[in-house]
Amino acid sequence: MRGTRAWVRVLLGGLAAVLSVAGVAGAQIKVPADFAFERGKDSPGTVTFSHEKHKAKVDKCQACHTKVFKMKKGTTGALTMEKMKAGELCGACHAPKPAAGLPTSFPTEDKASCERCHKK
């Protein structure tokens, strides 16, 4: 039994060294590329979402993913202005009163902010 524990420590120590050398131990999660949402019939322009820009405001993926959005693209459901104005989806941060623990940002109800998301 004693030899087994020593062998496991050596094995785990070697694995940690390999992961460290490979850069896995301190690896950062790759931020997904920007993507455009399908433009709705009443939309003033295409909305392109940038994980990179949003990551600057919240440092952990979990701030939005699974609490606000599902992890897999396309499984959250339809993004509508009605839901956002109710504080759901993007409205969790972009509503007059953001959800607890999430950063305050420009509200979706501010007409001057439309072009920040909707590009013509």
Rounded to two decimals, the pTM is 0.66
Are 21 and 79 within one domain? no
pLDDT of residue 9: 52
Are 17 and 72 within one domain? no
Are 24 and 43 within one domain? no
Are 97 and 47 within one domain? yes
Domain count, the chain: 2
pLDDT, tens digit only, all 120 positions of the chain: 555 555 445 444 444 444 444 444 456 778 899 999 888 888 999 999 999 999 888 878 888 898 899 988 889 988 888 898 888 999 888 887 777 777 778 888 888 888 889 988
CATH number where 58 lies: 3.90.10.10
Are 11 and 45 within one domain? no
> Any residues with CB less than 8 A from the CB of 109 and at least 6 apart, and which?
85, 95, 96
Q: Which domain holds residue 88?
A: 35-119
Closest C-alpha among 110, 108, 65, 109 to residue 90 = 108
89: left (phi over 0), alpha (psi -120 to 50) or beta: left
pLDDT of residue 56: 86
Are 16 and 53 within one domain? no
pLDDT of residue 97: 75
